Amino acid sequence: MIYREAGEFKTSYAADQGLLTIPMDRWFVIGLVLFAFIGMPLVGDEYWLGSIMIPVLILAIAAMGLNILTGYAGQLSLGTGAFMAAGAYMAYKVATNLSFLPVPVAILAGGGFSAMIGVLFGIPSLRIKGFYLAVATLAAQFFLLWLFTHVDWFVNYNLSGVPAIADYHLFVDWGPLVTGAQASVEARYLFVLVFAVFLALAARNMARCKIGRSWMAIRDMDIAAEIIGIRPLHTKLSAFAISSFYCGVAGALWAFCFINNVEPGAYEIERSFQILFMIIIGGLGSILGSFLGAAFIFLLPITLSQLPGWLGLDVPADVITHLEFMVMGVLIIFFLIVEPHGLARLWQIAKEKLRRWPFPY
């Protein structure tokens, strides 16, 4: 009774095909986005915005990317970290060598470069499936990272190998600083938020259009998809391209707006696994799930490490670190058993319950 969809009558297919067809959902999402844009920069401090919101949003973008590939198109990938790195290095090259271009263009160019790399490493997907494909993408992970760390051209022959990101204005030399150490945390947060919101919207739109349906068709039953006229190679490669674009943008944002340098260590295999866990916990084939999963996986260790302090317990730091690993592992297993469809499914169940409340059914 709290959450109502009864009494909503649609009179056109346009209304029925909308993104948020239930007014309550619509207002909730509009409210949430408004809060993210206006409320959050006002109430959030340096720590909340800079160390929590920015990385969570960036990881959510990467998770959306992997979700497009794995959740929607059904192609398992362990190369997420490498695709993020491709985006970061290319964005850095564009920002430094083509400095007449505004920094958002450099970041999108990073995404575009990553998309090309993604297509290249997606070609084996026509022949190999499932775990074997995961192994093939693992090759991308190791090869690309090796390439970026060993070919000095990518870092402009920087001696340390970890070039810092300069302070860039939004449009070349106009607008607020949005990257680098001098930029205010609010500006960096809003910059990342704009990317996250638009990419999330685009992902939702693609998911409900022809391209999304062809991904899901290939995922669910590739033979049946073929007889309908879906070209398997074309469809899989489009998923690889768009997925890698998202990952590339995320990688570039990570370097430009979060850690302020292009650090190869940020794009190791651990990152690939982290993002894979995010979409598994958040929900495969769900854009909302990508955000929930990113928040959950990123915040859980932080919460766990703070918990003893909040409870007034005096636990040594190394014990906390070990506990973190154990609790994290247990929670992941618990989730996979209890709710294999992830947090997004829990959210759906909660809505169903609210719809009937206070009646049991």
Write out the residues near another protein by the rule CB under 8 A: 13-14, 16-17, 19, 202, 205-206, 208-214, 216-217, 219-221, 223-232, 238, 242, 285
Distance in Å, CB of 211 to another protein, minimum: 5
Minimum CB separation of residue 203 from another protein in Å reads: 8
Identity of the residue, 16 or 314, whose beta carbon is nearer to another protein in the bound complex = 16
CB 206, min distance to another protein, A = 5
Q: What minimum distance in Å lies between the beta carbon of 13 and another protein?
A: 4
Q: What is the dihedral of CA 191, 193, 196, 201, to 10 degrees?
A: -110
**Which residue matches tokens 């920069």?**
41
d(CA 256, CA 247): 14
**Count of Cβ atoms closer than 10 Å to residue 196 Cβ:** 25
CB of 298 to another protein, least distance (A): 26
CA dihedral 266, 269, 270, 276 (to 10 degrees): 110
Q: What is the CA radius of gyration of the chain?
A: 21
Nearer to another protein, 208 or 353 (CB): 208
Going from the C-alpha of 198 to that of each of 64, 113, 272, 356, the distances in angstroms are 12, 19, 23, 33
Closest to another protein by CB, 69 or 177: 69
In 112-211, beta strands by DSSP E: 169-171, 174-177
Closer by beta carbon to another protein, 89 or else 215: 215
Cis ω for the linkage preceding 358 (within 30 of 0): yes
CB of 205 to another protein, least distance (A): 4
Residues 245, 114: contact at Cβ < 8 Å?
yes
Q: How far is the CB of 48 from another protein (least distance, A)?
A: 31
Instruction: Give dist(CA 361, CA 355) in Å, integer.
Output: 10
Query: Which CB, 214 or 274, lies closer to another protein?
Result: 214
What are φ and ψ of residue 176, in 5° steps?
-70, 160
Q: Decide whether 25 or 268 has the Cβ nearer to another protein.
A: 25
CB of residue 16 to another protein, shortest distance in Å = 8
**Nearest-10 crossing angle of helices 130-150, 80-97:** 30
Q: Which residues of 165-188 are buried (b: 16+ CB within 10 A; e: fewer)?
A: bbebbbeeeeeebbbbeebebbbb
